[in-house]
Structure formats: C-alpha cells, structure tokens
Chains A and B, each alone.
Chain A
Amino acid sequence: MRGRTKLSRRAFATGAAALLCGGAVTAAPARRQVETSLGRLDIPAMPQRVVAIDSRIGLEQALAFDLPLVGYSHSRARPWVPVPASVPFLAAPPDLEQILMLAPDLILCPDSAPNSDWWPLARLPAIAPVLPSNHRITWQENLTRLGGWLGRLEAAAWIIAAHAETIMAIRMRHRRVIERTLVAAVHYDAVKRRLLVRSAGTRYGLVMPAQVLAELGGREVRADRLGPNGEVALDSFGDVLGTVDGILLIDFGDGGPRVLAREPLWQRLPAVKAGRVETVAGNCTFGSLYTARYLAHAWDTLFTRLSA
C-alpha cells in the first residue's frame, strides 16, 4: 500500500475513485514475485494505477495489456496509439513528485539511461515497483518479457501471433517484390541538413522501421555505410541510396520532406526520380505493437507501389 496513505486529499480521492471505478477491489490484493534486471520485485497481480515513463514503448505496452494508466511522459502519444483522452500527459522530463502524487502501483520505464532526467529508472523504485523495457531488443521480446512479469503471457502471445499474421499476409502478397528490391526508411533533419536512415540496425538502437522490415524479410541498406546514428551526409546520397528501389520517407511534422524535395541530390536518386517514395506521417522510430502495425501498413503501401 506504499504511496497511498495520507498523500494529499485530492490525490487520495483520485486514487480511491480510480479503485472503485475500476471495480477491481478484491478481498485480498494478490501480489506477484518477479525476477527482473532490477532484482526481485513484489508487484501487484492486477495493477490499478500504472504510469508509463516513455510514451513510445511503455505506453503502447500498457495499452496492449489493457493496464489502467494514470499518466505518461516523454512525448505526446502518436496519433496511431489509442490512448484514452482521460490519461494525462505528465511533465517531460518526468517530475518525480508529480508521479508520486498520482500514487501509482506500477511504473514502466526504459532501462537505457537509469540516472538520466528522462528515464530515472534508478530513482523510481522509491515510488512503486518498476518494470523495465529495453530499446535494443525487439518489441516482441519486450512484450513477452513484460507479459511474463504480469502473468499475461497468453495475451502477449496472442498479440504477437496476430501481428505475425498481418506480416505473413503482406509477405505473401509482395513476395517477389520484397525479395528483389532494396528499400530504406529515412528521416530528414532540415535544421542540421542530414538524412537519418531508420531501416538498418545502428548504434542508435533497434528502431521500429528496421524491425518491421526485417520481419517482412526485406533487404535494407548496409549499416556500415551509415554514421553511428544512421546518418547519411548530403554528398553521399548517391553512394548510399543510389541502389535503393523504394524509400519510406518518415515525416516528423517538422517540414523535413518539403525541404528535402528541394535538394537536387535527393531529386537525382533513381527511386525518387521514379516516384517510388512513400511518405509516412509521424515519428515512428521507437514503439511497440501499435507502431509495428502502423509501419507494417506503411511498408505494405510502399511495396504495393513498387510492384506497380
């Protein structure tokens, strides 16, 4: 019952109300003992108030398992992530006191930088048990790991199987194109004038466009041609992307594609000349099942265009 005693009247009222509305008040609150990278944890079997520190992985996972969310941080939820309007976007970087006042009984947080302001994994256990996620393993592994801790392995398996079915359908539809063509997902940073390839594994982490492309069995550009964060210098456009048949252009909403369209070296690329560029709206670099589904659809559209 940590964090739910005499906090402040309002927070207490919200907490109590959430409990009642959730209708999940059971006689004896069941606990689970789980083993994570943070050691042995005692977590509620049916979490009632969950905070997702990162809007990408944790938020999507919580929604996938239908966990009762009370807030999330890092950045606003992407349009394709079905987060209820009642779940507030908290301060970013997260404010520990704000989170404490929400009286969560479970927190989801990436383990990429435990002492940072953005993902303060090291300090969150003082508030509530924390289950970590990692951006260097696939979203399926992350989901299965979390499912195991929460005792929801079946739900995880079902979600993963449903996604695999979608992927298989796309693969069947475009088998020949996928085998024959070389594709790339890119994002253009208009301020620094640099292109970032997001369809190849780099030091930046296992990014979602690359994961979904790998599931589809697609062929990607070689990572050794790219910078540590997937950068391509403007003058190497031809060298790195000259042989690419189709491009998925990720639009962060910062006007990048508009500026890129004016770059003569971009216009010169065979894929661009042939009109084999598909724009996908929104930052989909990291995420979980919803982003995977969104990207599967985007790649599907690109391959449809390539087979035409």
Chain B
Amino acid sequence: MPLASEVPAQAGSCRDACTTRRALAIDLGLAVACVGLGLLALTLGTMPVSLADAARALAGDAAAPVQLVVLDWRLPRILAALCAGSALGMAGALFQTLLRNPLGSPDVIGFDAGAFSGAILAMLAGAAASIVALASFAGGLLAGLIVYAAAGGGHVERNRLILIGIAVGAGFTALNDWLIFTAPLDSALIAASWKQGALAGVDRSRLAIGAAILLVLLPLGLACRRTMAALALGDDKAMSLGEPAGPARLRLGLTGLCLTAAATLIAGPVGFVALIAPHAARRLVGSAGLPLSTSALFGALFLLGSDCVARLLFAPRSLPVGAVTACLGGLYFVLLLRSRLRRGAES
C-alpha cells in the first residue's frame, strides 16, 4: 500500500462482505484490547494497586486511598485518553478521505495549533479550566475556518488546501510561541504544561464536557460512512447516489473539525494519532476506503498506550504524551518504509 496514493474506489460486492465481516471482527478485537489495556492501566502507576483492588475500587468498596487513586486520578485519565484518541482517529479518517491524502490529518493542517492559541489566550486572561477548554474548542474551529476561507471556500485542489493548512498551522504556532514567550512566568508555565498534553490534569468536569460533546459527534461521524463511500467513487457518481459533493464535503469537514477540537479540549494538542490511526486501520481491515470505526478504536488504543508509556517510562516523572505519540508514530513510518522498500526489492 503506497503511502501517498489516492484512495482507490471500486471493490467487488463479495469482497465487500468479506471485508465487512473482517472489519467487525477487528473492531471487536480492538474494543476488547481497549478495555483490557484500560483495566491494566488502572493498576499502573507509582502506587501499587492490584487488579483485584482496582475492581473493588470500581465497585466502590476499596480503601479510601485506593479509591482516590483509581477512581479520581487514573480512571478519568484513561477515559480521557480513550475519548480523545477515538475522536482523533475518526477525525483523521474523515480528513484523509476528504483530502485524499494520508498525510492530510488535522494536526498537520494547523487545527491543533489554533486550539492551543485559544487555550493560551484564555489562560492568560485567567479563565477557569472549563472556559479554557471551550476556548481551545473555539480556537480549533477558527483555524479550520481560516484554512477554509484562505483556500477560497474549498474550491481548491486538495493538496493546496493541505499546504494552506500547514501555513496556517505555522502561523498559529509562532503566535503561541510569542504568547508563551512574553507571558508572565506563572501563566507561561501553565500554558507550557498544557501543551505537553493535558491528560495529566484532566478532571471529571473537563472529561464530562468533552464526553458530552463526543456523545453527539461520534455517532454523527459514523453516519458519514455512506457519504465517504459515495465521495470515494468520484464527484459525479456521488451526485447520482444523491450525495452532492459540495455539501457532503462540508459535512465531513465540519464533523472532523469538531471532533478534533473536542479531542484537543480533553487531551491538549496531541499529534500523530489522527495521522497514524486511519492508516493502521486500513492495513488491519484491508479495505479500500478508510474504516471509521476501526480508525476510532485504533486511535483510542494508540493514545491510551502512549499515555501509559508516558507515565511509566521515567516514573515518577511523566513525559508529555505528545512526545510519545510522535516517537511511536515516527517508528510506524519507519517500519512502513522498510516493508515498502522490501516489497520494492522483491518485485
């Protein structure tokens, strides 16, 4: 599977059925893996907690400190990683379908940087945590709208749109650097630690806001499946299937944008999840298009796994989760390249 190829369209109906069954099985496997890793993660950390203790804590009858660690600290963090990861995975699949480029993910085209700008501005104004989260949501949306407007309302070659996204992202990043650089030390420190992945500071209220938004967005995203398939057949075919290309693209883009913003609200700007997840999902399922549900589940698993690595690698000091996803994502690229080079040598 070439990394920079256009998404191929046609597939036979028999193969479709096989792929669907395979996709279901893989989805189920990924979901089980998410739950399993989540349970395991409940026991990982500076304080030793056995699986039995964790289960008792979930049931509500463990000792007070165990209850505190498992229910108040570890569980929100795990749920946040799963929520943000699934949102990013799905957003990645939507955008990569929309832009027909495996590198056209929301973190590459500047939405993360925009969301961070919103968050910094709110933090500098001394806003409460929930306002900061909403400001980051607004910032991500703003970045997306700027890209959309600068690209002339989407009537532009997809690759050019990605490039404009990269430029807008660079601009927002420079703005963020400037704001942090000139801010008083306290605010600068908070902003910097938010950037390093906000998973560490996630609490129930922020998780609740994010989860509520996702509860609406994830089904909306899944509902895009038909639109995606229609678009993959080309604009004319899509039209004949009752999906005019323009509005369909706008719907996909807006859903993906909101998903990204929600993920940023929960977990801060985390790169590489939206980039890797759809790609890995497609390889797993072996389908022509980008499978939305598989991508979301893989994103959740990937972010949770990265967060566990981030917490445990240098424990008790924790790494920013974004650094871990970047390293693992880079590793994925390298492996992909190697397999491609090997295949190239064989043929």
Q: How far is the CB of B173 from chain A (nearest CB, A)?
A: 21
Q: How far is the CB of B250 from chain A (nearest CB, A)?
A: 36
Q: Mark A178-205, 1 if CB is under 8 A from B, else 0.
A: 0000000000000000000000000111
Query: For the complex, is A117 an interface residue (Cβ under 8 Å from B)?
Result: yes
Q: Which of B5-13, B30-38, B62-70, B236-244 contacts its partner? A: B62-70
Q: Which of A93-101, A156-164, A213-221, A288-296 contacts its partner? A: A93-101
Interface size of B in residues (CB-CB distance below 8 Å): 28
Q: Mark A36-57, 1 if CB is under 8 A from B, else 0.
A: 0000000000000000000000
Size range of the interface on A? 20 to 34
Contact A8 B47 (CB under 8 A): yes
Q: How far is the CB of A110 from chain B (nearest CB, A)?
A: 9
Interfacial chain B residues near A127, Cβ < 8 Å: 68
Interfacial chain A residues near B347, Cβ < 8 Å: none
- Given the interface pairs A3-B65, A8-B47, A115-B201, the reply to whether A91 lies near B316 with Cβ below 8 Å is yes
Interfacial chain B residues near A103, Cβ < 8 Å: 65
Tell me, in angstroms, the Cα distance from A294 to B223 when the chains sit together.
68
Query: For the complex, is B276 an interface residue (Cβ under 8 Å from A)?
Result: no
Query: For the complex, is B189 an interface residue (Cβ under 8 Å from A)?
Result: yes
Query: For the complex, is A5 an interface residue (Cβ under 8 Å from B)?
Result: yes
Contact A97 B69 (CB under 8 A): yes
Contact of B190 among A95, A116, A204 (CB under 8 A): A116
Q: How far is the CB of B85 from chain A (nearest CB, A)?
A: 21
Tell me, in angstroms, the Cα distance from A100 to B68 when the chains sit together.
9
Contact A204 B201 (CB under 8 A): no
Interfacial chain A residues near B46, Cβ < 8 Å: 95, 97-98, 101
Query: For the complex, is B185 an interface residue (Cβ under 8 Å from A)?
Result: yes
Q: Mark B174-191, 1 if CB is under 8 A from A, else 0.
A: 000000001011110110
Interface residues of A in 112-158 (CB under 8 A from B): 112-113, 115-118, 120, 122-123, 126-127
Contact of A116 among B72, B189, B317, B318 (CB under 8 A): B189
Q: How far is the CB of A51 from chain B (nearest CB, A)?
A: 14
Contact B48 A8 (CB under 8 A): yes
B72 nearest in chain A by CB position: A126
Tell me, in angstroms, the Cα distance from A96 to B72 when the chains sit together.
11
- Given the interface pairs A2-B64, A91-B317, the reply to whether A100 lies near B69 with Cβ below 8 Å is yes
Most chain B beta carbons < 10 A, residue from A100, A118, A205: A100
Query: For the complex, is B286 an interface residue (Cβ under 8 Å from A)?
Result: no
Interface residues of B in 66-112 (CB under 8 A from A): 66, 68-69, 72-73
Query: For the complex, is B129 an interface residue (Cβ under 8 Å from A)?
Result: yes
Interfacial chain A residues near B154, Cβ < 8 Å: none
Q: How far is the CB of A192 from chain B (nearest CB, A)?
A: 11
Interface residues of B in 188-204 (CB under 8 A from A): 189-190, 193, 200-201, 203
Query: For the complex, is B45 an interface residue (Cβ under 8 Å from A)?
Result: yes
Tell me, in angstroms, the Cα distance from A97 to B193 when the chains sit together.
19
Contact B189 A118 (CB under 8 A): yes
Most chain B beta carbons < 10 A, residue from A91, A97, A229: A97
Interfacial chain A residues near B45, Cβ < 8 Å: 97
Q: Mark B289-302, 1 if CB is under 8 A from A, else 0.
A: 00000000000000
Known contacts A97-B45, A116-B193, A229-B184; 10 further A-B pairs (Cβ under 8 A): A8-B47, A8-B48, A90-B316, A92-B317, A95-B46, A112-B186, A116-B186, A116-B190, A122-B203, A204-B185
22 contacts between A and B (CB under 8 A): A2-B64, A6-B65, A6-B66, A8-B47, A91-B316, A91-B317, A92-B317, A95-B46, A95-B315, A95-B317, A96-B73, A97-B46, A97-B73, A113-B186, A113-B189, A116-B189, A116-B193, A117-B200, A118-B189, A118-B193, A122-B203, A205-B185
Interface, chain A (partner B; CB < 8 A): 2-3, 5-8, 90-93, 95-98, 100-101, 103, 112-113, 115-118, 120, 122-123, 126-127, 203-205, 228-229
**3 nearest CB pairs, A to B:** A95-B316, A91-B316, A97-B46
